[in-house]
Amino acid sequence: MAEEVRDLRKLVIKAYHMQDVEWGAHNDITADGHMTVSKETLKKLTAGEEYIEDIDLRIIRPGRHDRWTNTIMDIIPISAKVLGKLGEGITHTVTGVYVMLTGIDVNGKQCHEFGSSEGILKDRLYLNRAGTPGDDDYIVSFDVTLAAGMGQERPGPTAAHRACDRFIQDYRMKLKKFRGDRCTERHEYHDIVRPGKKRVLIVKQVAGQGAMYDTRFFSHEPSGVEGGRSIIDMGNMPVLVTPNEYRDGIIHSMQ
């Protein structure tokens, strides 16, 4: 007797589209599509990190990419867990704006090792990929200046990612409270077992060589840093995750 298809668990991702991003008194976000960015927390974020000398924020409007950028360390979605743990329950995410983490040290050395992407942003960022913003998206640039030489040492990039994650956390706390029925998109994902079909495993080889070549899993929040574990610290050994855990942002790319 053939076994039936089994549904192991459900993940719902609700998206809230931002129509505009402006400077404001506080870091704030509303379910009807308005986001404000403030520099008020930067001093505290800088003071909390030994290897960070300065942080600057910029709002980059869609199409306004004819401007300088330091090397791009990451593009990060703003997502928050609302119900359940990563991989099940409900997640809220934001569309229309993504955070771009860039880094340099006080001596002007870019935070990179093998290949660097500093330059004019429109020449350095290929839009509309899965991992990059689209033509109509805002970018919030979180630009970190590290202590001398720390761009090439593991604690430097780690501190930059951690500070950026704390900045994003302000938005996550608001995003968690959005009413579910006000979302602009709703996606439902299921971890499915299909008995009798070809069993396929995806193996993703991620960075773990050291310095900025690091990857973090199992953070408390989707695409987060806090609470996560580094693949370097886990000896680069293979770790199995479910499809829903993966699509719920279980990886934070530290490169």
Nearer to another protein, 213 or 226 (CB): 213
- List C-alpha distances in Å: 122 to 52, 62, 90, 104: 27, 11, 35, 19
Residues 53-72 close enough to bind another protein by CB under 8 A: 71-72
Q: Is 79 in the site for another protein (CB under 8 A)?
A: yes
Q: Is 120 in the site for another protein (CB under 8 A)?
A: no
Tell me which of 58, 62, 208, 220 binds another protein, using CB under 8 A.
Answer: 208
- With 0-12 / 13-18 / 19 or more C-beta atoms within 10 angstroms meaning exposed / middle / buried, residue 36 is middle
Closest CA to 161 of 111, 116, 97, 115: 111
Q: Is 240 in the site for another protein (CB under 8 A)?
A: yes
The C-alpha atoms of residue 218 and residue 216 are separated, in whole angstroms, by 7
Closest CA to 141 of 73, 25, 56: 56
Residues 218-237 close enough to bind another protein by CB under 8 A: 222-223, 231-232, 234-237
Nearer to another protein, 40 or 123 (CB): 123
Closest CA to 152 of 113, 116, 206, 114: 113
Q: Is 116 in the site for another protein (CB under 8 A)?
A: yes
Query: Which residue bears the tokens 């990612």?
Result: 161
Q: How far is the CB of 224 from another protein (least distance, A)?
A: 9
Nearer to another protein, 66 or 181 (CB): 66
Phi, psi of 28 (to 5 degrees): -145, 155
Residues 180-199 close enough to bind another protein by CB under 8 A: 189, 192-199
Q: What mask, x for binding another protein by CB under 8 A, covers residues 124 to 163? A: xxxx-xxxx-------------------------------
Residues 93-112 close enough to bind another protein by CB under 8 A: 93, 98, 110-112
CB 253 within 8 A of CB 220: no
User: Binding residues for another protein, how many (CB under 8 A)?
Assistant: 75
The C-alpha atoms of residue 223 and residue 99 are separated, in whole angstroms, by 11
Q: How far is the CB of 74 from another protein (least distance, A)?
A: 5
Q: How far is the CB of 32 from another protein (least distance, A)?
A: 24
Q: Is 209 in the site for another protein (CB under 8 A)?
A: yes
The string of DSSP letters for 57-108 reads EEEE-TT---SEEPEEEEEE--EEEEESSTTSEEEEEEESEEEEEEEEETTS
Q: Is 202 in the site for another protein (CB under 8 A)?
A: yes
Nearer to another protein, 46 or 110 (CB): 110
